[in-house]
Structure 1
Amino acid sequence: MLEETNPVIDPTSDLSEQPALNEQDWAYLQAFHERMEKEHMEQCTRCNKKWYNLALNQDHVCYVCVKADKDLDTDTPFQFSANNEMDPGPVPTQLTGEYALTQVEEMLIARVHCFMEVRQVRGSQFRYRGHVVNFLNNTGKVYDRLPLLPSDLDIIIIRPAGYKRDPKMRKQFRKDFRVRKHVVRRWLEHLKQHHEGYRTIDVAWDNLDALPDDAFVDNELIIHEIADE
């Protein structure tokens, strides 16, 4: 354990010739790097999860898989394994980076919708906070024609009436509601070709054409405005 003390600085001394880190700070930095070098990302050989401290056993299987599979019959595939179609594999490079989906884009191409989302955004001059609550629908919706339109989504937004007057709040509030037509199209084409659950869907070309090239669609959702705080 390094003992922490406040360094004494002589205000009359010339600091331009002194090192940026004193001996104590350098010791902290070295200790930090030594600790970080001991941290390694692990991978479960059964579910292929990659993360830290997975509590792998001698067969390199994580504790989650061990717990999930402990009562399985010998002829039953492991729960989170590829043999049980539970391992989607890595995300293809052509779907990463600028083609990563926003939350609303994910919902537009999701086949099953089980929840209604109510999102409340509150703001003041110095801070922003919000709440998202999901309510389970009595009957889940399964779609065979995708993508949906933003107006089809079960999302209710509660926002301050004057949010448009604050550019920072508007930017923070709208970031999850960006929709890009070319991104949605690329993901749909990939899923229809490679995902068993999407091979029989019908592509709603009229809906796809109606999506914006790159815009925020929060005004197309159900909006309820409240008085400013």
Structure 2
Amino acid sequence: MSPILRIEDLDCFYGEVQVLHGLSLNLMRGEVHCLLGRNGAGKTTLLKAIMGLVPARSGKITLGAKNLVDLPAHEVPKAGVAYVPQGRRLFAEMSVAENIEIGLMARGKDAETRENVLALFPILRERLRQRTGTLSGGEQQMLAMARALCLEPDVLLLDEPTEGLMPSMIAKVRETVERLGERGVSTLLVEQRVDAVLPVADRVTFVENGRVRATVGVDEVRADPDMVKRYVGVG
């Protein structure tokens, strides 16, 4: 099976400071691929580079046959990549329904897509008229994921989706990611809480100083806890 997303020899800079050094990574269809590494390792920069928010100095980011590096940032979601950044970036003064509508507009999706998304997050159906800023942290994370999924993406990028969430909401995030994989959506997931994502990950890539140090199956990570300590610094 060929990768749906292929990243090859990617170099990215902030000003004159190089953050990603020849980074290469493949994401398979329906896969949950977790990026692990210490803060500042370059994980979030990689997600932003895929979205065109950080320019690639060299290298390729290929979705199917399309090189995303050639696209302006606003065209990347239309190509089929959805991004839920750390901190969620919702419109707090708007209602839940209005935030979802913004997601639908990005790729011209309709009421059927809206219903499919709400079926994944039933709690949001009860909150449609509620102002987004009054939702709990877990509900806001659900909304951020729902808005992204209104694109009907092939690839979903999640940056620290379990940050600050209660265990019950972390379980809901995991359940949603699993169900998306069953539908053929590929997820690239940045996380610090190793225990939160290993139950759903297929493969793990360890990133250190902007370089890929290892990409392994999740069973290998479970069998070798020292690998996590080495690259992430937690047991």
TM-score bucket (shorter structure): under 0.3
Q: What TM-score, normalized by structure 2, do the two folds share?
A: 0.21
Q: Which has the higher contact order (CA 8 A, sep 6+)?
A: 2
Larger radius of gyration, structure 1 or 2? 1
- TM-score of the aligned structures, taking structure 1 as reference length: 0.22
